Amino acid sequence: DTAVSQTPKYLVTQMGNDKSIKCEQNLGHDTMYWYKQDSKKFLKIMFSYNNKELIINETVPNRFSPKSPDKAHLNLHINSLELGDSAVYFCASSRDPGSGNTIYFGEGSWLTVV
């Protein structure tokens, strides 16, 4: 039933580890996103994909690598985790990025790096 689902919801891990967050949408949307929300609640775009193709790649460290095996999935892999990576990561999707097409968010993945 869930439109945009991401796993895991909570993740606590040590510095230096590599972790992945998975995301799937069953809305038939062409575009998927990863957003990062830090402790100040600022929601910042990291990546967007349209039909498996990378469209936006903001200035995030190259330790972050998105992978889109098909247009319904966009996974986020993070290498060599650092304390500053602690945040909530939201996956989202939308139809064609024309006007009026709102973004639907997943429930978020709370990442804590210790």
Partner 1 sequence: GQNIDQPTEMTATEGAIVQINCTYQTSGFNGLFWYQQHAGEAPTFLSYNVLDGLEEKGRFSSFLSRSKGYSYLLLKELQMKDSASYLCAVNEGNNDMRFGAGTRLTVKP
Residue 77 is encoded by which pair of tokens?
A: 């892999």
Exactly one of 45, 60, 65, 67 binds partner 1 (CB under 8 A); that residue is 45
Residues 51-70 that bind partner 1 (CB under 8 A): 55-56
Tell whether residue 7 is a contact of partner 1 (CB under 8 A): no
Tell whether residue 99 is a contact of partner 1 (CB under 8 A): yes
Query: Which stretches of the chain bind partner 1, using CB under 8 A?
Result: 31, 33, 35, 40-45, 48-50, 55-56, 90, 94, 97-108
